[in-house]
Amino acid sequence: FVDAVVATLYKPVEDTPYISGGRTRAWDATARVRVEAFDELSFDAPSATLDGHLERVSQAAANIAFHVGCAAGEIEAIRVAGKLHDIGKADPRFQRWLGADGQSDGPMAKSGTPRHRIEAARVAAGWPRGGRHELLSAHLISAWLDPDDQVPWHADLVLHLVMTHHGQGRPTTRVVEDANPPSATATVEGTPVRISGDLSIMDWDQPRRFRYLCERYGYWGLALLESILRQADQAVSSATEVV
């Protein structure tokens, strides 16, 4: 698989391709924030609606995949993964953590919450410490999928890319104690889906999925596919133009 993509992207001769980020801010040593908060949220980014963020990431990821040289099936899987990767953020607790006030046009994907208020906001919202929104995203997608349907993209690849877009899911994603989980509801490709928002439920199919995809694409090939979605997500979150 790797040999089929544009060679200069993984064997640079004189330069290493990169995407420049947005503005940086001076670090405030008094604003201590848990690592998980920055792994979950882009607090330095402007507030953004969930639908808008998903659409932009989907387009950016598909564009990167096309220019890298991925086949049509992989491009479509990456596009769908980009469109669905953050739907777990629709959990009402996560929305409260983001500071959604019900006046925005739908659920939020990003927050401008000051750093010194992030941990207090999480506690007040009821989101469990260390909880992973991408786990809920994968549960929602799995509930939406009909095993008897023939889909035009590879379901295992879509689920794996969603599970790994923050570096988890290789092969498992962290679960946490979740005493009183609410229902999580999202619209997946036009279909309303409702599941338990329980963040203590492990996706035990992910290890099998990970092994299968490693065998299909190779270790480096799968890592390349993962990096496409992660780069698109980070670029869009940083308001960086992807061309």
Q: Is 35 inside a domain boundary? A: no
Write down the pTM of the prediction: 0.82
Report pLDDT for 19.
39
The residue segments making up the domain with residue 183 are 50-239
Per-residue pLDDT band at 243 (split at 50, 70, 90): very low
196 bridge partner residues: 183
Under 8 Å between Cβ of 220 and 156: no
Q: Is 82 inside a domain boundary? A: yes
Q: Is 174 inside a domain boundary? A: yes
Report pLDDT for 115.
80
Per-residue pLDDT band at 148 (split at 50, 70, 90): low
Q: What is the pLDDT of residues 24-41, one digit of tens each?
A: 444 444 445 555 555 555
Report pLDDT for 91.
95
Q: What percent of the chain has pLDDT over 90?
A: 60
Alpha-helix residue ranges (DSSP H) falling in the chain:
35-40, 50-68, 72-84, 92-98, 118-125, 133-144, 155-164, 206-217, 219-237
Q: Is 27 inside a domain boundary? A: no
Q: Is 94 inside a domain boundary? A: yes
Phi, psi of 165 (to 5 degrees): -75, -5
Report pLDDT for 137.
97
Q: Is 33 inside a domain boundary? A: no
Chain centroid to CA 79: 12
Q: How many domains does the chain have?
A: 1
Query: Average per-residue pLDDT in the chain?
Result: 82
Q: Is 167 inside a domain boundary? A: yes
Q: What is the pLDDT of residues 73-115, one digit of tens each?
A: 999 999 999 999 999 999 999 999 988 766 567 898 888 778 8
Is the confidence at residue 14, as pLDDT, over 50? no
Q: Is 68 inside a domain boundary? A: yes
